[in-house]
Amino acid sequence: MATTTAAVTLTSDLMSTNMSVSATTTCMKAGTTADGLDQMEYGYVDLPTGDEYDLIATTPTASKASKLYIKNHSTDETYFIAITQNSQAIGKLYGGDWMFIPADFHDAAGDIAITANGGINKICYALFHEGTALVTT
């Protein structure tokens, strides 16, 4: 079984007692405890301003499990990318920010789309999944 693990450590001193949360998960295929995600895409792109682009070119199979990591590697903190799924705004990743979600590519319109602001944003992404609808040539 392929094994993909994702761990997070979150700390904050905004409250009177410092908060520290750590979590680790093994990324499994949908509805199973015995079989891990076994396919992935990994990329690094320069994203110009002006248009919205689909970050994921091939659509992972609907109703399957997927995990998507995106980081904005721009060093200018005023740069950001706006992220949408199926035209619903998720939020903005400013220079240095990352996100990790269980992306739901429920249909062809469910792609993750990103729009750059401020200048050319440098984006790293990784999609862990269990199958895509490949496009024939």
Partner 1 sequence: MATTATISISSDIAPGFGGISESMTLTQAGSLVDIDSTTGFSIRKLSATGAVDLVTMANELVEPKDSVAAKIYIRNIGYRDVIDKSVGVTIGINAEPIGKLYGGDWLMMPLTCIDADDITVNPENDNTVVIEYVLFYEEA
Q: Which is nearer to partner 1, 89 or 136 (CB)?
A: 89
* Rg, C-alpha atoms of the chain: 16
How many residues at the interface with partner 1, by CB under 8 A? 60
Q: In DSSP terms, which residues pair with 113 in a beta bridge?
A: 54, 84
Sheet containing strand 80-85, edge to edge, reads 52-54, 112-117, 80-85, 88-94
Q: What distance in Å separates the CA atoms of residue 87 and residue 84, rounded to the nearest whole number?
A: 5
Q: Rule CB under 8 A: say whether 27 interacts with partner 1.
A: yes
The interface mask with partner 1, positions 64-103, x = CB under 8 A, is: -xx--x-x-----xx-x--x-xx-xxxxxxx-xxxxxxxx
Which H helix or E strand runs over 41?
strand 39-47
Binding residue for partner 1, selected from 12, 75, 136, 137, defined by CB under 8 A:
12
Q: Which residues does residue 59 pair with via DSSP β-bridges, in sequence order?
A: 133
Instruction: Give the residue with the Cβ less far from partner 1, 13 or 136.
Output: 13
Interface residue list for partner 1 (CB under 8 A) = 2-15, 19, 21, 23-28, 30-33, 37-40, 42, 65-66, 69, 71, 77-78, 80, 83, 85-86, 88-94, 96-104, 106, 126, 128
